[in-house]
Amino acid sequence: MFTKYLLILCVFIVSFASNSYAANVQPQEPEDNIGHFCNMTITNHTASKAQLFLKNKPNKPLWFSTIRDLFIYINSPEEDQRILAIYVNDMGIANWDSPEPDTWANAYDAIYVIESKRLNGMGGASIVPFTNTDKANDFIKSYGGEIKNFNSIPKDYIFSID
């Protein structure tokens, strides 16, 4: 009986500690980091980047040169899905050619413009993150597209871009 309660307590403590740690994961700046898929230096690309933290590597994010690459990763069952946190550059405040430090936003809270005329940092069709709907609509007025949330970007769009 004691062992059962001890086991429950241990599970609770580990769960609480994991969730507390997830809340403390902060975005990093890319510096000379390499993109997970493209194996190229992140800072050599224009437009929004992404960083994804895994539970088993909470201090070393995976970097993505484009938001499309991020969505390919999270929609690929062969990739590690033990995700702790994801951040994207908020293109409502970031410079398109070189997103500045401190323009990171929680990817789950962002909205995304798809099907615009603006190309991503790899020269393909873009998925552009914003935290402000008005700024996303301003972007759409200039470049076209439509707004989607994190979970509503169609998989056929993610996998068929370019």
User: Are residues 112 and 130 in contact, defined by beta-carbon separation less than 8 angstroms?
Assistant: yes
pTM (predicted TM-score): 0.82
User: Are residues 98 and 117 in contact, defined by beta-carbon separation less than 8 angstroms?
Assistant: no
Number of domains in the chain: 1
Give 116-138 pLDDT, tens digit per residue: 999 887 777 899 999 999 999 99
- Taking residues 64-81, report their average pLDDT: 94
Closest CA to 62 of 78, 91, 42: 42
Give 9-60 pLDDT, tens digit per residue: 333 444 444 344 456 899 988 877 877 777 677 777 789 999 999 999 899 9
Asked which of 18-22, 27-31, 92-96, 150-154 is least confident by mean pLDDT, the reply is 18-22
User: Are residues 65 and 35 in contact, defined by beta-carbon separation less than 8 angstroms?
Assistant: yes
Closest CA to 96 of 81, 76, 116: 116
Which residues, including other chains, have CB under 8 Å from residue 31's CB and lie 6 or more apart? 43
The mean of the pLDDT values for the chain is 84
* Residues of the domain holding 66: 2-160
